Amino acid sequence: MKVALVGATGLVGTRMLQVLEERHFPVDELIPVASEKSIGRKVSFGGREWTVVSADDAIAAKPQLALFSAGGETSHQLAPRFAEVGCRVVDNSSFWRMDPTKKLVVPEINGDVLTADDFIIANPNCSTIQMVLALAPVHKALGIKRIVVSTYQSVTGTGYKAISQMNTERAIAEKERPEGDLLAPATALGHWGEYPAAYPYPIDQNILPHIDSFLENGYTKEEMKMVNETRKILRDESIAVTATTVRVPVQGGHSESINVETCKPFTLEQIRSLMASMPGVVVQDDPAQNVYPMPIYAWGKDEVFVGRIRRDFSIETGFNFWCVSDNLRKGAATNAVQIAQLMLEKGLL
């Protein structure tokens, strides 16, 4: 089994290597691929080191599987070339997700859509994955009319550069904070432009209501991903979805506040039971004991954690809940590897 990993040196790429090992995916030969400046670097996997090669060399090796985490344009250019040599591609970028000829897969929800004809398979957006995993059993049992979601997304979703920006801002602020003044604002605004930045404003001690680029309708691409991908994965174009996606100075994972209106009446115990029935979803919902999901505890885990499940008294069949997951794991690397495992089970690899 030859497995190519395109974007092997990036934040998600390194998590993919980790998840492949953890899940004992049968890799006989790893073919790490990265940008031209990274060719010749070494990555560790399976107890040995592997040399980063060019995309051309990887395609020439004719791998059976390629995991992509290198951006939309790279996927646009390279995924078809890998597919042409008989390689199954699981792509983590947004490029193929809404292509009607490509499958958008969360294995626990719609893994049945994969067939022998699928050579480029799209991995959904990280924020979408955790939301639909929790809501799929609710939709199946009760039907969903409408979803209103606000996200609180970790800087890890933007990669190493964003983590560096946040940590640099914190270091600058701590260095220049007046001695003994714990309430002095920890902001690097006065130093903007002195270090590489992933965001147009400081992220430490700040919140940015801006993820991906803005569209003509006033929403961001990230927000519209959640709208369109949810409908495609749940196979129901009638679900009304609206989203506000926000970047917060957190490193552990993405959090979401979600309001749902169902087609049928329900009890809260029914909602908890439905969510708990979904593989990979963990219900943490005991407010009396201060038990609820938090990103600091989701970091490094594959599960999606849900809590704060409560009725929305403003509508007849509505409820709210809080949803947290490590965006680099189930939101990206783990889901991609699970797709590969499913293809293996189906005899497609």
Model pTM?
Answer: 0.94
pLDDT in the model for residue 179: 66
- What are the structural domain ranges in the chain? 2-123+332-345, 128-158+207-327
Other C-beta atoms closer than 10 Å to the C-beta of 35 total 14
CATH superfamily of 128-158+207-327: Dihydrodipicolinate Reductase; domain 2 (3.30.360.10)
pLDDT in the model for residue 190: 44
pLDDT in the model for residue 215: 98
pLDDT in the model for residue 189: 46
pLDDT in the model for residue 306: 98
- The catalytic position among 76, 191, 210, 254 is 254
For this structure, is 191 an active site residue? no
pLDDT in the model for residue 74: 96
pLDDT digits 0-9 by tens, 270-323: 999 999 999 999 999 999 999 999 999 999 999 999 999 999 999 999 999 999
CATH topology of domain 2-123+332-345: Rossmann fold (3.40.50)
pLDDT digits 0-9 by tens, 184-199: 554 444 445 556 789 9
For this structure, is 254 an active site residue? yes
pLDDT in the model for residue 181: 62
- The catalytic position among 24, 76, 87, 126 is 126
Q: Does the CA dihedral 287-300-324-142 come out positive or negative? A: negative
Show the low-confidence residues of the chain (pLDDT under 50): 186-191
